A = this chain, B = another copy of it.
Amino acid sequence: MDYSAKTKRTLGNALVGDRIAVHTNGKKYEGFLMPKHSEDPDTVTLKLDSGYTIGLKPDKIALIEKARNVRPQPAPKRVHDSSKPTITILHTGGTIASKVDYKTGAAYPAISPEELSDAVPELREIANYNAKVVFQMYSGDMEPEHWKILAEKVYEEAKSGVDGIIILHGTDTMAYSAAAIAFMVQKLPIPVLFVGSQRSSDRGSADGPMNIICASLFIVKSDFSGVAVCMHGTSSDDYCLVNPAVNVKKMHTSRRDTFRPIDVKPYAKVWQNGSIEMIRNDYSAKDKKRGPVLRNKIGKKVAIIKIRPGISHKELEFYKDYGGVIIEGTGLGNAPVTVLDEYTAHHGKLLEAMGKMSKRGVKMFMVSQCPYGKVNMNVYAYGRAVQDAGIVPLAMTSEAAYVKLIWALGNFPKNAEKIMLENFCGEIVENIKADTFLI
């Protein structure tokens, strides 16, 4: 995580955190020296007063001036412009708002919403922003109870008359939270976009600013309402994709274009210059007269269990007091229940455990561990036996199924199964178009 020896020589006595002025190619850049973050230890990273971060090559650096104890200029005071729409930024934390601990090099969720919107000056041209802190946490730490609180805030803001909401959120569990808000706050009059970033704001490849800009442009310029995820569409700063909250998955650990639509097409592509290409039209148009409906109760605990060679029926039975289990079957929704030989003698017990748990009232649904494609438990003989044991196939992502079951058990405890099979916001995808695989 350190600069190369060569870069250190160029930096002289300037240390990470120092305010410096760098003279390069006849220009002078002033800002704070950041820790090395890009793949290239030969790039000096400087955080400018505008909030932007630039990378400079030591070969081209003519002189570095060091000015200790100088603070950056405060951003100009923001004035409400009544000719522009108003967007509420709900801040939950995540990389998009993290800053780096210079001692350990690790990132902490710490930047305030004001700092963040000041750091992206383009936003001032698009809308007025209210920034509110809901949480300051990594999304990997979120619990269903946090969805409930976030849903309340979204509901209140949506009722308050703002033109759109941007939820800054860590990417790790964004697919879960986005689905949760889609189920918990229905009939939304305005767009609610989840925005995160895969690279922290002090890095040259930071994706947060572009994602927030594109989300703002989409809110202001399109007629979309409902919940969606707005993140990079490609690995370059090309365009953002607006993907439906209930059909999106984090497909890559580190790429900026990690969020991909699963078995559906994105709603839109959005460019930073303000161009928007609408790809779908099957959404509700904005309508400020439509009242949002809040149903944010959290039901009994739900589990996700992934089928694998060697799974034991005891692993399923562990969840016998849970409200429900999402089973990630193999392929079309299969599980090892066929008894063929001495090694599969215990498979019968898995089928038996399914039946017993159903009778106890544990709601169990089958999705696939394949990221794409729908389950079909009628193709193979034993898929039917599993259905007879009370497992219901669901044409949904694992994330959406998990969130929906918690929501269904909380808000419709007597009709959870019926609710699970009803399509509320596009989460059930029965007819998959061929050109939605790996896009």
Contact = CB atoms under 8 A, between A and B. Distances in A.
A102 B422 CA distance: 32
A309 B176 contact: yes
Interface in A293-310: 301-304, 306-310
Interface stretch (A3-11, A104-112, A123-131): A104-112
A247 interface: no
A255 B372 CA distance: 9
Contacts of A309: 142-144, 146-147, 173, 176-177
Interface stretch (A186-194, A275-283, A380-388): A380-388
A427 to B, nearest CB: 17
5 contacts: A135-B340, A144-B310, A147-B309, A173-B308, A255-B437
Nearest to A375: B253
A330 B437 contact: no
B373 A253 contact: yes
Interface string A420-439: 00000000000000100111
A426 to B, nearest CB: 19
B347 A381 contact: no
Given A108-B381, A253-B376, A258-B373, 4 more contacts: A140-B307, A251-B372, A253-B373, A306-B328
Contacts of A135: 340-341
Nearest to A302: B310
Contact of A335 (B140, B252, B308): B140
